[in-house]
Amino acid sequence: MASDLFISVVIPTYGREAVLCSTLKNVLEQPYPAFEVIVVDQTQTHEPATTAYLNSLKTNPQVTLYTVDWASLPAARNYAVERCHGDIILFLDDDVELPPDFLSAHAHNYQTRDNIGAVAGRVFDRMKLAE
């Protein structure tokens, strides 16, 4: 698109290891050109492999890692919002897997509809999915 909206992807996390790393890898594989990832890490101590992966992201200009010494999902989201640079703020849990081109599709909703102020994902009833 001629003018890509800049997306701030906010991922609060607490006590998650492999799923956090997987989610971050998945987000960073998105082909959308204009986004940042802000992680608010409320975990005091990670496994060595997680620490190594998070440290490797410190050189990635798209990723900003914040480590805080408190645990609160709403506070972590607010903390990230105060530090975002995006036209759009996208909140993700630390255990999601995005389909290819998710960020492009998300931005497209805002670019093509003037009356859109917020977009939410689908909510599935886990009990019905188990049937």
Average pLDDT per run of 10 along the chain, which is 131 residues long?
85 96 98 98 96 97 98 98 97 94 94 88 69 65
Residue 116: predicted pLDDT: 87
Residue 32: predicted pLDDT: 98
E strands, the chain, where?
7-13, 35-41, 63-67, 88-91
The dihedral of CA 80, 91, 45, 21: what is its sign? negative
Q: Which residues pair with 11 in a beta bridge?
A: 39
Residue 102: predicted pLDDT: 96
Residue 126: predicted pLDDT: 66
Q: Assign domain 7-130 one CATH number from 3.40.190.10, 3.40.50.800, 3.40.390.10, 3.90.550.10.
A: 3.90.550.10
